[in-house]
């Protein structure tokens, strides 16, 4: 078992002080490690690959809240729609409509976060400010009743320049606050997911209330 038990418990105590939800990123990790963390009380787990997620969900306790945090293709939504708790990577109307369609088939309402591009790297997925504004307007008009957009998600640059990382988090928090104010009638727009193992403390300082941590808890990936 490679779960860093003491470090995990320290992170949980730290995040509890700021009411920040921990999503344990369990991609590529074995069932036994996820079960060990579950036995310590962890319920939110994040996976990047549809096939890996469906296989794990079938073998692990049903009350786990699975978060999909990798790039999601529309044709793969149907495989996770029956059980996924939160899809953190919505970056197009097409994907949101497919999630709504598959959620309806499963008689569910699926929580979603809109992914915003804040990093300098071109490889990161996500919406820019204009695209986000347009998508939010479309969501309001279309009334997709089987999805629930509960906030935003973003990943900062993979950089040792913590001033850059902080500025990116600060920018996303300002964007989140703007849209939360516009959605004042909808009390469900409350989640700002930003921060990973290398930068979660900065993210929390800048207003994140959900972080995605993998290597600090499970050890480095092979």
**What is the pLDDT tens value at each position of the chain, 222 positions in all?**
578 899 999 999 999 999 999 999 999 999 999 999 999 999 999 999 999 999 999 999 999 999 999 999 999 999 999 999 999 999 999 999 999 999 999 999 999 999 999 988 766 679 999 999 999 999 888 889 999 999 999 999 988 999 999 999 999 999 999 999 886 556 689 999 999 999 999 999 999 999 999 999 998 765
Q: What is the total residue count of the chain?
A: 222
Whether residue 190 contacts residue 150, with contact meaning beta carbons closer than 8 Å, is answered with yes
Residue that the structure tokens 């929580």 belong to: 111
pLDDT tens for residues 29-55?
999 999 999 999 999 999 999 999 999
* pTM of the predicted protein model: 0.95
Residue that the structure tokens 């504004």 belong to: 133
The whole-number pLDDT of residue 125 equals: 79
Chain centroid offset of residue 43 CA = 14
Question: How many alpha carbons lie under 13 Å from residue 26 in its C-beta half-sphere?
Answer: 31
The whole-number pLDDT of residue 4 equals: 87
List CB contacts of 92: < 8 A, sequence separation 6 or more: 135
The torsion angles phi and psi of 47, rounded to 5 degrees, stand at -130, 150
List CB contacts of 112: < 8 A, sequence separation 6 or more: 86, 87, 88, 90, 96, 99, 147, 148, 149, 150
Domain that holds residue 58: 5-218
Helix, strand, coil abundance in the chain, percent, nearest 5? 45, 20, 40
Query: Minimal CA–CA distance to 211: which of 198, 200, 222?
Result: 200
The whole-number pLDDT of residue 121 equals: 72
Between CA 198 and CA 202 the distance in angstroms is: 9
Domains contained in the chain, number:
1
DSSP 1-37: ----HHHHHHHHHHHHTTTPEEEEE-TT--HHHHHHH
CATH assignment of the domain containing 77: 3.20.20.10
Query: Minimal CA–CA distance to 116: which of 87, 147, 155?
Result: 155
The whole-number pLDDT of residue 24 equals: 98
């Amino acid at each position: 078992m490679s779960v860093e038990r003491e470090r995990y418990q320290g992170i949980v105590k730290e995040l509890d002080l700021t009411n920040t939800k921990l999503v344990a990123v369990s991609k590529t990790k074995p069932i036994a490690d996820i079960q060990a963390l579950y036995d310590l009380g962890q319920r939110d787990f994040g996976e990047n690959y549809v096939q890996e997620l469906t296989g794990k969900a079938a073998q692990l306790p049903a009350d786990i809240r699975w978060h999909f945090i990798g790039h999601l293709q529309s044709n793969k939504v149907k495989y996770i729609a029956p059980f996924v708790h939160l899809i953190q990577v919505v970056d197009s109307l097409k994907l949101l409509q497919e999630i709504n369609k598959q959620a309806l088939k499963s008689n569910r309402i699926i929580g979603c976060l809109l992914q915003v591009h804040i990093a300098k790297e071109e490889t990161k997925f996500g919406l820019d400010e204009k695209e986000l504004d347009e998508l939010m307007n479309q969501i309001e008009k279309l009334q997709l009743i089987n999805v629930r957009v509960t906030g935003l998600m973003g990943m900062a640059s993979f950089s040792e320049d913590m001033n850059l990382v902080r500025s990116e988090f600060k920018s996303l928090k300002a964007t989140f606050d703007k849209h939360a104010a516009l959605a004042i009638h909808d009390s469900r727009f409350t989640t700002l997911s930003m921060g990973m193992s290398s930068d979660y403390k900065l993210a929390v300082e800048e207003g994140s209330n959900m972080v995605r941590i993998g290597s600090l808890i499970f050890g480095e990936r092979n």
